[in-house]
Amino acid sequence: MMETDMNATISLYDGIIVIPAPQDRLGAYYSDFPYSLYDQASVLQDCSVTISDIYSVATMYPGIVWNAAPNLYAIVPELNELLGAIGPCLSLTAEAEPSWAALSALLQRCCEVPEVAVSTATKVLHKKRPGLIPIIDSVVEGKYKEASAAADVAWPVGEGTQAVLVMQMMREDLLSGILPQIDALRLWVWTTRGIALTRVRVLEVLIWIMYEPKATFL
């Protein structure tokens, strides 16, 4: 069996998203202490959001402690009900698609909370549903918005609906033939860094590393 080239360039949408040397970039990213702490934090994948779950994001976004966390925690009963409609073991790459409506409702409600943008919401929710929900910040969303425009796909209204479209496009990307490379990268990060990553997290991190202007990972 031919060994997967983990450093082979990943190219999506006719070059709108291009990630050269993904293995080298992931290695540099996970040499950064705060990012490693976030992915190593233990969070139960249940239907109950705790204040500890929310504060697990603080290693990447310290401001959550003072801004978003109290506001998000105030609607925890609603979040728990919405999260309960989304199974804890779901994967974005499973044969059956997830309930996009349930995901949209959850994400939209989070984004209606003062100081909570979709990037903050998905940082918290990724830890609760790591195989399903990626972190969607302005960089990741921006590249998928660019790709949707190139494909003549209308960009929807509403942060929850926009986030779901990003997830739908990411699902298509992961199932387009790059899974062997993504899985090889996951195994490599686990064996060299002791960090367990899901497929959605690997792809999302690689896009962020490549297109975040302030990133210095290669």
pLDDT digits (tens, 9 = 90+) for 26-45: 999 998 777 899 999 999 99
Q: Which residues of the chain have pLDDT under 50?
A: 1
Portion of the chain with pLDDT greater than 90, in percent: 83
Question: What pLDDT was estimated at residue 162?
Answer: 97
The single-letter DSSP state of residue 57 is: G
100-111 vs 118-128: helix crossing angle, rounded to 10: 130
Question: What pLDDT was estimated at residue 59?
Answer: 83
Question: What pLDDT was estimated at residue 2?
Answer: 54
Q: How many residues does the chain have?
A: 218
Strands of the chain (E only): list them: 10-12, 17-19
Question: What pLDDT was estimated at residue 218?
Answer: 62
What is the value of pTM for the model shown?
0.95
Portion of the chain with pLDDT greater than 70, in percent: 98
What is the separation of C-alpha 163 from the centre of its chain, rounded to a whole number of angstroms? 10
159-173 vs 199-211: helix crossing angle, rounded to 10: 100
